[in-house]
Amino acid sequence: MNIDKKEYRKYAEARAQKSPILKNCLCAFLVGGAICTLGQILTEVYASLGAEKETAGTLTSLSLIFFAALLTGLGVFDNVAKFAGAGTLVPITGFANSVVAPAIDTKSEGFILGVGAKIFIISGPVILYGIFSGAVYGVIYWLVTQVL
């Protein structure tokens, strides 16, 4: 049975659900903004308690990682992510979720073959492409600054 690619594409597009783009963007904006606002509030609280600016930023990062990991473990983060979509991908909370979720899912396979082997299965590509894009950006920046 030989199916024409154009014919199949039309068939698939006709049955695919349409994404509510405006609603998705609004939810991502609101939740992502709320996470960033929480981060700013935490930074201000830590600074008001006497932490220096850099230390307050570090404490804020640690707090956001902790909250994202805790909410992932409790099963709340996934529900928020279903509503917010990309809004939960604010880098530090999304990264914490991408490390904790596979660890929880594979804990029944043991600490070595489960958690240890699969903990970075989602976040590994993020690390790889983050480092790669940072290196490419660095080379481009170096080239531009050397030419100008």
Per-residue pLDDT, 106: 87
Q: What is the rounded CA–CA span in Å between residue 35 and residue 126? A: 20
Per-residue pLDDT, 1: 55
Per-residue pLDDT, 11: 84
Taking the mean position of all CA atoms in its chain, how far away is CA 83?
14
Length of the chain equals: 148
Which pTM value belongs to this model?
A: 0.72
CB 114 within 8 A of CB 126: no
Per-residue pLDDT, 119: 84
Q: What is the pLDDT of residues 81-94, one digit of tens each?
A: 999 988 888 778 98
Per-residue pLDDT, 79: 93
For 3-24, b where at least 16 C-beta lie within 10 A, e where not — what string? eeeeeeeeeeeeeeeeeeeeee
Distances (CA, A) of 139 to 100, 132, 136, 143: 33, 11, 5, 6
pLDDT averaged over 10-residue windows placed end to end, the chain, 148 residues:
77 84 94 95 98 96 96 93 87 88 86 84 85 94 88
Per-residue pLDDT, 2: 65
